[in-house]
Amino acid sequence: MSTGGMVKAIFFTLLTLGFFFVIWIKNPFAHKEVYEVPEEVAGIIWDPKAVSEGRELFIQTCSSCHSVRYDGLYLLSLEAKPEWKKILRTMGKPIFEEREGKLRIKGYYLPRDVYETVAFQDLENLKASFGKVPPDLSTIYLARGPGYLYQFIMDPQKVLPGTFMPKLFLPEYDKEAPEKVAKIVAYLRSVSEPPPSEKVKRTVMGAVTVGYFLLMGFVLWFYRRRLLERMGLH
């Protein structure tokens, strides 16, 4: 390779590395976290053991207004109806859960349009009381991140002035309020993330794709002269 070629190769390699560094590692366009989780409860949010307690707390405190369709949780007013189970079984897709090595149905997933149709009246009632339908929280963790969720649930008015979402945990009266809120955030995190088996599958798929391109790149580079000759370009 000539010196010029070498300089060019180094230049383009650095350019490519620089590009991926900016996109993946130091992205100036990425959303900056302005809301923080206090250190005392930060560990809870990533603790897998906090998830099931967070789910129970969510059912008790939040499911009168919010659904989590990805986890098969729907408004309490719907769950109380005798025909609701049948609607879920006929229109929903089962969500499986592994417990003691056995798969069992944990709940049913309903696509958004189906849900908004079958739950129309209940959602309208909420809208009449709160000005808008409280959103489904299946992917809220991905959209807002842990800091925002923690601060918002602790004190909705402080984060979103004028919101109709009530303050449900009062640290003045309930010493465990910060932990409870962190457990709910842990639950919302667990719902928005793919299960471990799915994560492994995606990682393998990514590695295979990158490997394929590397291999193809190498093969093309190796046979470049012969290919160019065949095309009559060399």
Site membership for ligand HEC, residue 45 (CB under 6 A): no
Q: Which of 12, 31, 20 is nearest to 210 (CA)?
A: 20
Q: Smallest gap, in angstroms, from Cβ of residue 29 to ligand HEC?
A: 21
Could you give the angle at the alpha carbon of 75 between the alpha carbons of 115 and 96, nearest 5°?
70
C-alpha 142/C-alpha 132 separation (Å) is: 22
Site membership for ligand HEC, residue 149 (CB under 6 A): yes
Determine the longest span between alpha carbons in the chain, in angstroms.
Answer: 83
Site membership for ligand HEC, residue 61 (CB under 6 A): yes
Which C-beta is closer to ligand HEC: that of 49 or that of 132? 132
Site membership for ligand HEC, residue 134 (CB under 6 A): yes
Which C-beta is closer to ligand HEC: that of 1 or that of 128? 128
C-alpha 120/C-alpha 68 separation (Å) is: 16
Q: What is the number of other CB atoms lying within 10 angstroms of the CB of residue 92?
A: 20
72: left (phi over 0), alpha (psi -120 to 50) or beta: left
**One of 140, 154, 182, 186 touching ligand HEC (CB under 6 A):** 140
Site membership for ligand HEC, residue 171 (CB under 6 A): no
Site membership for ligand HEC, residue 135 (CB under 6 A): yes
Name the segment binding ligand HEC (CB under 6 A); options: 35-43, 99-107, 147-155, 170-178: 147-155
Site membership for ligand HEC, residue 72 (CB under 6 A): no
Collapsed DSSP state (helix, strand, coil) of residue 222: helix
Name the segment binding ligand HEC (CB under 6 A); options: 14-22, 33-41, 146-154, 208-216: 146-154
C-alpha 194/C-alpha 202 separation (Å) is: 10
C-alpha 85/C-alpha 136 separation (Å) is: 19
- The residue whose Cβ lies closest to ligand HEC is 62
**One of 66, 69, 183, 189 touching ligand HEC (CB under 6 A):** 66
Collapsed DSSP state (helix, strand, coil) of residue 35: coil
β-bridge mates for residue 151, sequence order: none
**Tokens read off for 213:** 């391109």
CB 130 within 8 A of CB 65: yes
Number of residues that bind ligand HEC (CB under 6 A): 22
Distance of CA 230 to the CA centre of its chain: 50
Site membership for ligand HEC, residue 186 (CB under 6 A): no
Site membership for ligand HEC, residue 51 (CB under 6 A): no
Site membership for ligand HEC, residue 12 (CB under 6 A): no
| 151-170: contacts with ligand HEC (CB under 6 A) | 152-153, 160, 163-166, 168
Q: Which residues bind ligand HEC (CB under 6 A)?
A: 61-62, 64-66, 130, 132, 134-135, 137, 140, 144, 149, 152-153, 160, 163-166, 168, 184
